[in-house]
Amino acid sequence: MKAVIMAGGLGTRLRPLTDNMPKPMVPIHGRPAMEYAVMLLKRHGITDIAVTLCYHPKMIMNYFGDGSRFGVHFEYFIEKEPLGTAGSVKQAQEFLDETFLAISGDGITDIHLGKIINFHQKKQAKVTMALTWVEDPTQFGIVITDEDGRIRRFIEKPKPEQVFTNTINAGIYVIEPDVFTYIPDGFYDFSKQLFPSLMSENLPFYGVQAKGYWKDIGTIEQYNQVHTDIKNGKLSHDYKEAM
């Protein structure tokens, strides 16, 4: 299986850390945040990886190179202008010619990717979304599934009065390549555009609860909390060891 790491975000809520560096390069215990995603993919045997870039792309490319020193292979796809999450991934359409996994380049997690992939294959889904639980879901997409795991309700960044669950989109997806036919050229977003479209057309769009540690580093407070959590051993793998 192939993967794509989405690493083009500006990280505006992390300023001043991201004034002169892309969010995936923000250091976490001495490693760029994106390196944790690379390690997670490699741990699950996924080594053929596309990387979508926009903000300060050369900083990421200079650090990671072709991926060989991390035991993986990278292909880079640079947005000349912001294309949104789905639009940026569509740039890698030729490379992503089989079932693939999409993951954020700035989240810290030890979620078992194999369980999500197996669920996706069992359900013969078009898209399967990893789900997790947070105390404050207002900065994320909230999700309700039926007993079979099919996504029935989804709201991106709800207002407090709109919150109907604390289960959220973890930003990790298993996707069939024919989904690209539903993504037009130009700016297009997974959460705000593609997912509502899949639901309106009643396509097999599933969510599966992903057990394990997951933390977005969208704010300075979350960034600091990740450091504390790693130091306290809250991740199931020792990310402090060299690969």
Contact 224, 120 (CB under 8 A): no
Residue 80 in domain? yes
The values of phi and psi at residue 162, to 5°, are -95, -10
Residue percentage of the chain with pLDDT more than 70: 93
The reply to whether the predicted model has a pTM over 0.75 is: yes
Please give the residue range of the domain that contains residue 216. Answer: 2-232
Q: Is residue 210 part of a domain?
A: yes
> What pLDDT sits at residue 53?
93
Distance of CA 163 to CAs 91, 140, 222, Å? 33, 11, 21
Q: Taking the C-alpha atoms of 21, 92, 36 and 9 in order, what is their torsion angle to the nearest 10 degrees?
A: 30
Number of Cβ within a 10 Å radius of residue 139: 15
Number of independent structural domains in the chain: 1
Domain-located, residue 242: no
Token reading at 30:
């001495």
- Predicted confidence (pLDDT) per residue in 83-134, tens digit: 999 999 999 999 999 999 999 888 888 889 999 999 999 999 999 999 998 8
User: Does 151 fall in a domain?
Assistant: yes
Give a yes or no: residue 239 inside a domain.
no
Mean pLDDT over the full length of the chain? 88
- Is 237 within a domain? no
205: CATH: 3.90.550.10
Has residue 224 been placed in a domain? yes
